[in-house]
Amino acid sequence: MEFGRSDHWRLPTAIKILIAGGFGAGKTTMVGAVSETRPLRTEEALTHVGTYVDDLSGVERKLTTTVAMDFGRITIRNDYMLYLFGTPGQERFWFVWDELALGALGAVVLADTRRLEDCFPAVDYFEKREQPFIVALNCFDGIMPFTVGEVRSAIGLEPDIPIVRCDARRRDSGREVLITLVEHAMRRGATPVGTMS
């Protein structure tokens, strides 16, 4: 039996998205919650020595940290594959960000509302790269100490950059965040920055 051109199997379009933010903001949790496959994690145990470097206030129960990246995948109607790359949050691992950002459509900057200032470096990073991003406020236990307007003012975000609330532990919440990012990137006419190697 011969197959015509229209019958050929084709690969889905790959879309790369970064999940960035400060230490302990919930990046690994979000990637794990939304990924349809078991996520790849590069976590190491926090050590006593690290307590002199890493500020654990607000995240005292955190036992591990990402040292390279987290990776997950979502299939959308067999036409698109979202590849999710969670970045490490600590400053000493930021050198990885440039490689991870290559070819990305955009980024979610995950912000812990208890440690809002920790998301500032990620916001600065994507603003300087002129790469589309949104801010997702990870409301731990439903706690939202600031209004969206107060957060926008504190971060110094332009009015067109979306800020959404989420619970990084919930798949439906994480997916809504990703939809918001893709829609924002499409409105901006975004194309992936750099090339994927």
Domain segments of the chain as ranges: 5-187
CA torsion, points 53, 86, 130, 98, in degrees to nearest 10? 70
pLDDT band at 39 (very low <50, low <70, confident <90, very high): low
Residue 54, pLDDT score = 52
User: Cα dihedral sign for 57, 58, 61, 66?
Assistant: negative
Which of 31-40, 110-119, 169-178 comes out lowest in average pLDDT?
Answer: 31-40
Q: What's the whole-number mean pLDDT along residues 97-121?
A: 90
Residue 127, SS3?
helix
Instruction: Please give the structure tokens belonging to residue 113.
Output: 């509302």
pTM, entire model: 0.77
Which CATH number among 2.40.170.20, 3.40.50.300, 3.40.190.10, 3.40.710.10 corresponds to the domain 5-187? Answer: 3.40.50.300
Residue 147, pLDDT score = 87
